[in-house]
Amino acid sequence: MIPLRIGVMGLGTVGAGVFQVLERNSGEIARRTGRGLQVTQVSRRNLDAARELVGDRATVVADPHAIATSPDIDVVVELIGGTTLARDLVLLALRHGKHVVTANKALLAVHGEEIFGEARRLGLTVSFEAAVAGGIPVIKMLREGLSANRISWLAGIINGTTNFILTEMRDRGLPFADVLQEAQRLGYAEADPTFDIEGVDAAHKLALMGAIAFGMPVQFDSVYVEGITALHSQDIRYAGQMGYRIKLLGIARRRDDAGGVELRVHPTLVPEKCLMASVEGAMNAVMVQGDAVGTTLHYGKGAGSEPTASAVVADLVDIARLASAAPEHRVPSLSFQPDALQNLRVLSIDEVVTAFYLRLVVADRSGVLADITRILAAHDISLDAVRQRESSHGEQQTDLVVLTHETIESALRAALKDIQALPSVLQPVVALRKEELA
Amino acid sequence: MIPLRIGVMGLGTVGAGVFQVLERNSGEIARRTGRGLQVTQVSRRNLDAARELVGDRATVVADPHAIATSPDIDVVVELIGGTTLARDLVLLALRHGKHVVTANKALLAVHGEEIFGEARRLGLTVSFEAAVAGGIPVIKMLREGLSANRISWLAGIINGTTNFILTEMRDRGLPFADVLQEAQRLGYAEADPTFDIEGVDAAHKLALMGAIAFGMPVQFDSVYVEGITALHSQDIRYAGQMGYRIKLLGIARRRDDAGGVELRVHPTLVPEKCLMASVEGAMNAVMVQGDAVGTTLHYGKGAGSEPTASAVVADLVDIARLASAAPEHRVPSLSFQPDALQNLRVLSIDEVVTAFYLRLVVADRSGVLADITRILAAHDISLDAVRQRESSHGEQQTDLVVLTHETIESALRAALKDIQALPSVLQPVVALRKEELA
C-alpha cells in the first residue's frame, strides 16, 4: 500500500517531534499499521531552520496554504496554533479533501462546531488526541475504551503549568508570584502565562472532553473558569493540615437532577489519599467515572515535543488504517453520531453542587463561630470540620477554617454575604471548592 | 442499520454484566455507534436462571455449540472459561464466520497462536480487552493509543486478589495464610486460589501484553512466574521502613543489549512515592514506558461483573463499527501485522537485570557484614543501602537488610550461594527484586 502522505503545517517544537518520531519509529509503526507514514511536506517561516531538520526528506514551504491545497497530501497536521489562521487552514485543507490532525485545543474549543460540521459534510476526519492531556490517550479512552459506559463525571489535571506552580507552592511554601517567575525562567510557563494561570487552557480541554463524554456540542463559552492567580500558599498549607491538596481541576459532571451538566475549571481541594493528589509537577491525569467501569485514572505527560507527537502520530496511524474506509466505519469526532448530539444545558455556577473550604479571618472573641455556623445552617449548609489557626495578621485575629458538606453554590454565596457582613469577620472570606472524587 | 446480533456463551457473573450493561445503556451506546447492539442468544446450563435474567429478550440455550454455529449471530462472546471447551467453541464460532470477543486470558495465553491464526485466515476479529486488567482499556491503549511509540517496558498490577492480600498484609501486619483465608471469606479469592496466588493469572495477562507491546507471538510458557505464597509480612515491614512497598508485578522489558525481552511475574519492591505503590486493594494498574510518550499509567477496577462487561462491550462497539469493513481497516489482534511479528527471545531469569532486597538472619558478631559485602563485590554487585534490625528469632541473631544496585540475576544467585555458605548466615536468605519504575 502506498504510504500515507502527511503535511505538517508549523514545524515548531511539536512539529519537529512529529517528524522525528515518525522517522525514528518508522519501522515499528509500519509493522503495526501495515502502511508507511511519511511526512512529505512541512511549512515554516524560517525555511533554513526547517531544512536543517528535515534535510531533503520532505519539501519545505514557507506558506502553509501550499500544504492545505497540495494534491500530494492525504492528511495535514495543523500545528500553527491560534484560532484565526489555523481555522482558515483547517477548513481549506478539508475542502481540498484532506483529513486533519490537530493539537490545537483553542481552535476546536472555539470553532469546533464549524470544523467538525465541515469534516462531516465532506466525509473526512478531524482528530485531536494531542489537544487534551498531551501523550495520554484520553480522547481514545473516552471515545472508544469506555464506550460501554454512561459517563457520570470526569475530572482532570489538564494543565501542566499550573500543576507545576501548585506543586512548588506547596513543597516550598512560596507565594504564587515567586513560583510563576521561576516557572517562566525554567520554561514551564510562557512569557504571557495568562491562558494557563487563568484556567483558559484547561477550559478549552474540558469543553472538548465534556462534549465527548456526554454527547453534546463543544460549549467553551459556557465553561465556568477560575484560575490560580488568587491562591494563597496559606490555604495550600491549611488544606494540607486537613488532609487535602489543592489542584486546578477541570470537572465535567452530569446533573440529571438539574437537567444539565456542570463544566467548570477551578482550584479544588482533593483528598491527599486520592491518586489525583499525587500527580505532581507538570504531569497530567484524567479520572473518569462510568456506570459500568467505575473509576479509572489515566496519567502521563501533558505537554512537550515528543509526548504531544505521540498523540499526533497515534491519530495518524488511525487515519492510515481507516482513510479509505467508508465514514461509517470511523469513530465520530465527538464520539457520538453527529445526529445524536444532545443540546445539554451547561449549568450556571450558581447551580453547581460541591463541598467548600472556607477561610475566615475573624476577631478573636467568643461567639464568632456560633454566628457563622448559625448563618450556614440558615442556608442549609452543614459543617464537616472546623479548625482554628493562629493568624499571621495580628494578635487579636484568628484564622478560622471551615469545611462544609455539599451545598448548592447559590446557597453558599448567600451565606457568605451574610457572614461577610458580621463585624467580627475582618477580611474577605476565602472560598475554595472541595471534591472527594469518589 | 440492522443491530449487531450477539451470542453470549456462558451467562455467569460477567455474562450477566454484559447483558445488563447493553440493556441499560442501549440508548447511549446506539448514539455512539450508530447501530444497535443486541444480545439475541445466551447459553447457560441452568436454563431457568438464564431465563430469569433475560426474560423473552433473548433465546436461551443450554448448549453453547448452538450459539457458535447459529446463522443468526454476528459475534460470540466467550465467557465459558478454561482452555478446552472454550477453545473448541471459539474455533467453531470462527469457522462459522463469527467475530469473537473473550475475557479468557488463559485461553489466549495458551492457544492464542492457533486462535489468532484461524481468525486471520478467515478475516475475522478476536478481541480481548476484558482479558487484561478488567475495565481499564489497556489493550486499546497499547494497540492504538501508544502506536507511535517503541515500548521499552511495561509493568502491571494485574491481579486483584494478590494485590488485595498484599495490601492487607501490609496494613494489618498479618501473615499470608491468615489474609488469604479472609480474602476467600470476602470473595476476593477463589476456593482454589492457586492461579492467583502463584502468579499464573498475572502471567497469562503479561504474556498477552508483552506480545502486543513488542510485536511477538504470545509466549506464556516462557514467562518467569513467582507468586506471593512465600512472602513474609516481616519483609513487607522492612521494605516499608526503607521507603518501598511490595507489589506482585508483571513486567515486560525490552532488552536490546541481550537480544530479547524479559517477561516475568514476581513480588517486587517499588518506591512508595511511585503511583504504583498507591494502587491498593483489588485495584489494577498498568504503567507503560514508550520512547515518545515517556511514562503513562492506567488505573481502575481489574475485575468484577460490570467493569469486565465494560471492556467486553467496548470490543463489541468496535466490531459493530468495523464488522463490514475490509480486514485491513481493522487493528490486528496482536497490534502488529501478523507477518510483522518477531520471534523475540524471552530471556531466562538468569539473564534478567534488577536491583535486589536481601534479608539475612545472621549471627550477631563482628565481621559478618564485611564477609557479605566482600562476596557481593566479588560478584560485581554494589550496595545501595544496608540496615540492621533486631531479629525476632533470638538474642544472638540480627536481621540484616541489604539493597543492591542493579545486577544480572545469575551473579546474584552465585553470590547468594557463597553467602549462604558462611557459618554466620543462620537461615536461608530472602531475596526479592526491586524496581524503580522510572
The tens digit of pLDDT for each residue in A245-276 reads 999 999 999 999 999 999 999 999 999 999 99
Q: Rounded to an integer, what is the distance from CA A391 to the centroid of its chain? A: 35
Closest by alpha carbon to B241, among B121, B395, B357, B106? B357
In angstroms, the CA A124 to CA A94 distance is 7
**CATH code of the domain occupying A138-301:** 3.30.360.10
Q: What is the DSSP string of B271-329?
A: ETTSGGGG--TTEEEEEEEETTTEEEEEEEE-SSHHHHHHHHHHHHHHHHHHTTS-GGG
Confidence of residue B323 (pLDDT cuts 50, 70, 90): confident
Chain B contact set for A133 (CB, 8 A): none
Rounded CA-CA distance B435/B246 in Å is 10
How many inter-chain contacts (A to B, CB under 8 Å) are there? 229
**Average pLDDT across chain B, whole number:** 96
Q: Whole-angstrom Cα distance, residue A309 to residue A103?
A: 9
- Does B215 sit within 8 Å of A25, measured CB to CB? no
Query: Does the structure show a pLDDT above 70 at A197?
Result: yes
Q: Which long-range contacts (CB under 8 A, 24 or more apart) does B336-342 make?
A: B336/A31, B336/A32, B336/B212, B336/B215, B337/A31, B337/A32, B337/A33, B337/A34, B338/B116, B338/B117, B338/B120, B340/A30, B340/A31, B340/A32, B340/A34, B340/B215, B341/B215, B341/B216, B341/B217, B342/B214, B342/B215, B342/B216
pLDDT greater than 90 at residue B326: no
Those residues whose C-beta lies under 8 Å from the C-beta of residue B311, and which sit 6 or more positions away, are: A148, A293, B103, B129, B130, B134, B135, B136, B137
* Range with lowest mean pLDDT among A127-141, A330-344, B135-149, B157-171: A330-344
Closest Cα in chain A, distance from residue B431 (Å): 30
The catalytically annotated residue of B98, B105, B205, B434 is B205
The answer to whether B260 and B352 are in contact (CB under 8 A) is no
Average pLDDT over residues B253-275: 97
The model's pLDDT over A400-416, given as tens digits with 9 standing for 90+, comes to 999 999 999 999 999 99
Catalytic residue among A98, A105, A140, A205: A205
* Inter-chain residue contact B301 with A293, CB threshold 8 Å: yes
Rounded to a whole number, what is the distance in Å from the CA of B20 to chain A's nearest CA? 10
- For an interface test with A, the pick among B293, B299, B333, B343 (most A C-beta atoms closer than 10 Å) comes out as B293
Say if the Cβ atoms of A321 and B300 lie within 8 Å: no
- Predicted pLDDT of residue B355: 98
B22 to chain A: nearest residue by CA?
Answer: A148
Helix and strand element counts for chain A (H, E): 15, 18
Which residue in A215, A313, A321 is closest to B148 by CB distance? A313
Other beta carbons within 10 Å of A140? 25
Mean pLDDT of the B326-332 span: 89
B307·A292 Cβ contact <8 A = yes
Q: What is the pLDDT of residue B393?
A: 65
For B352-434, the fitting CATH number among 3.30.70.260, 3.40.50.2000, 1.10.730.10, 1.20.1440.230 is 3.30.70.260
Within 10 angstroms of residue A175's Cβ, the number of other Cβ atoms is 12
Judge whether residue A438 has pLDDT over 90: no
Which amino acid type is present at position B297?
Answer: L
d(CA B433, CA B326): 46
Question: Which cell numbers hold the place of A234?
Answer: 496559606
Summarised one tens digit per residue, pLDDT across range B98-125 is: 999 999 999 999 999 999 999 999 999 9
* pLDDT tens track for A220-237: 999 999 999 999 999 999
Alpha-carbon gap, residue A350 to A33, rounded angstroms: 49
- pLDDT reading at A394 higher than 80: no
Distance between CA atoms of A282 and A304, rounded to whole angstroms? 10
Query: Domain boundaries in chain A?
Result: 4-135+305-340, 138-301, 351-433
Q: Taking CA A162 as the corner, what is the angle to CA A244 and CA A242, rounded to the nearest 5 degrees?
A: 10
Tell whether the model's pLDDT for residue A297 goes beyond 80: yes
What is the C-alpha to C-alpha distance for residues B92 and A274, in angstroms, rounded to an integer?
46
Q: DSSP strand E in B320-382: where?
A: 345-346, 353-363
Nearest-CA neighbor of B294 among A165, A310, A318? A310
Please answer whether residues B317 and B310 qualify as being in contact, where contact means their C-beta atoms are separated by less than 8 angstroms.
no
What distance in Å separates the CA atoms of residue A337 and residue A184, rounded to the nearest whole number? Answer: 42
Cell of residue B419, nine digits = 553467602
Cα radius of gyration (chain B): 24
Average pLDDT of the segment spanning B230-236: 96
Cβ neighbours of residue A407 closer than 8 Å, sequence gap 6 or more: A353, A354, A355, A356, A379, A380, A381
Average pLDDT, chain A: 96
pLDDT, tens only, A126-183: 999 999 999 999 999 999 999 999 999 999 999 999 999 999 999 999 999 999 999 9
Q: How far is B340 from chain A (nearest CA, A)?
A: 5
Q: Return d(Cα A390, Cα A400) in angstroms, integer.
A: 9
Contact state of A140 with B136 under an 8 Å Cβ cutoff: no
CA distance between the termini of chain B = 48
Grouping H, G, I as helix, E, B as strand and the rest as coil, residue A376 is: helix
d(CA B365, CA B367): 7
Q: Name the residue in chain B with its Cα closest to that of A288.
A: B300
Nearest-CA distance from B226 to chain A in Å?
Answer: 28
Please tell me the predicted confidence (pLDDT) of residue B392.
67
Which chain B residue is nearest to residue A135, measuring alpha carbons?
B293
Does the structure show a pLDDT above 90 at B74?
A: yes
What does the alpha-carbon distance between residue A278 and residue A257 come to, in Å, rounded to a whole number?
32
- Residue A303 dihedral angles phi and psi, to the nearest 5°: -155, -175
- The radius of gyration of chain A from alpha carbons, rounded to an integer in Å, stands at 24
Q: Tell me: the pLDDT tens digits for A317-371?
A: 999 999 888 888 999 999 999 999 999 999 999 999 999 999 999 998 889 999 9
Which of B296, B298, B306 to substitute to test the interface with A, most A CBs within 10 Å? Answer: B296
Q: Is the pLDDT of residue B395 over 90?
A: no
pLDDT bucket at A17, cuts 50 / 70 / 90: very high
Closest-CA residue in chain A for B279? A275
Q: How far is CA A297 from CA A154, B139, B294, in A?
A: 10, 15, 17
Give helix then strand counts, H and E, for chain B.
15, 18
Based on the residue annotation, tell me whether A98 is a catalytic residue of this protein: no
Cβ of B137 within 8 Å of Cβ of A144? The answer is yes
What percentage of residues in chain A have a pLDDT greater than 90? 94
Q: Are the beta carbons of A317 and B150 separated by less than 8 Å?
A: no
Phi, psi of B303 (to 5 degrees): -155, -175
Using a CB-CB distance cutoff of 8 angstroms, which residues of chain B are in contact with residue A271? none
Of A267, A284, A262, A266, nearest to A275 by C-alpha is: A284
Query: A-chain residues within 8 Å CB-CB of B34?
Result: 328, 332, 337, 340
| CB neighbour list of residue A128: distance below 8 Å, 6 or more residues apart | A101, A102, A103, A104, A105, A108, A139, A208, A315, A333
CA–CA distances in Å: residue B24 to residues A291, B104, B311: 10, 24, 15
For testing contact with chain B, the best of A23, A26, A149 (most B CBs within 10 A):
A149
Three-class SS state of B355: strand
Q: Which residue has the cell 505527560?
A: A301
- The distance of A38 to chain B (nearest Cα, Å) reads 13
B364-383 core/surface letters (b: 16 or more CB in 10 A; e: else) = eeeebbebbeebbeebebee
Q: Which SS3 state, helix, strand or coil, does residue A128 take? A: coil
Instruction: Specify the pLDDT at position A1.
Output: 75
Distance CA A232, CA A242 (A): 16
pLDDT digits (tens, 9 = 90+) for A91-136: 999 999 999 999 999 999 999 999 999 999 999 999 999 999 999 9
Q: Which residues of chain B does A140 touch, with a Cβ-Cβ cutoff of 8 Å?
A: 140-141, 144-145
pLDDT at A392 over 80: no
CA dist., res. A291 & res. A297, Å (int): 15
DSSP string, B119-169: HHHHT--EE-GGGSSTTS-HHHIIIIITTTS-EEEEEEE--HHHHHHHHHH
Phi, then psi, of B60 in degrees rounded to 5: -110, 130
Give the integer Cα–Cα distance in Å for B229 and A134. Answer: 41
Q: Is the dihedral of CA B250, B251, B252, B258 positive or negative?
A: negative
User: Which class does domain B4-135+305-340 fall in?
Assistant: alpha beta
pLDDT attached to residue A431: 98
From CA B414, how far away is CA B406, in angstroms rounded?
A: 15
Q: Distance (Å) from the C-alpha of residue A428 to the closest C-alpha of chain B?
A: 37
The beta strand positions in A347-437, using DSSP E, are 353-363, 383-390, 397-404, 407-408, 430-434
**Domain covering A351-433 in this structure, CATH number:** 3.30.70.260
